[in-house]
Amino acid sequence: MRLAVLASGTGSIYKAIVDANIDVAVVLVDRPCAAIDLANTNQTPCITLERRQFGPDFDRTQFSCDVVAALTEFNIDVVAMAGFGTVLDAPFFEAYEGRVLNTHPALLPSFPGWHGVRDALRRGVKITGCTVHIATLDVDEGPILAQAAVEVLDDDNEATLHERIKSTERHLYPDTIKKFLADMEAHT
């Protein structure tokens, strides 16, 4: 199974995947970011499809088609979202139906969306965590593959809680990816 990683930021999730000895065929980014340098360090091909529009003029469908075309060049079977900042549209999810993994910093279905950590703190929950799920066109709605709980401490702020969630995520996500890839291999 050939795995692509889609990233937009520091590359910490991508690094956790590589550190878990998971072979990554290609990294795709939507903006200049540290994940590019990490891909270069790991001698992994890296595609930059820079998103230049962020308002109503952004053609999400065309951008999604461009992502599919780029990944097709590498014969990708499975995609791991690793902090990818662009929500993709139907052509992407049709091309990789049931084969896009994502991680989210909350225990879905609670606190979906961009601000899961902040929303958990505002709600006053005592336990939150991270979820690995199949990504679908409906954001944070896909089938859950794995979850891990993280205690919310009395003195937590968004940064401290998010860092503890990320620490858990850096183990849970690679482990779940390995299992998912092995299950796919077994069924092909």
Query: What is the rounded CA–CA span in Å between residue 86 and residue 100?
Result: 14
Which of the residues 104, 115, 133, 171 is marked catalytic?
104
- Give the position of tokens 């529009």: 53
Sequential DSSP letters for 2-69: -EEEEE-SS-HHHHHHHHTT---SEEEESSS-HHHHHHHHTT--EEE------STT--HHHHHHHHHH
Residue type, 120: A
Task: Please confirm, yes or no, whether 171 is among the known catalytic residues.
Answer: no
CA separation, residue 2 to residues 43, 93, 171, 184 (Å)? 16, 17, 21, 11
Question: Which residues are catalytic, by number?
Answer: 104
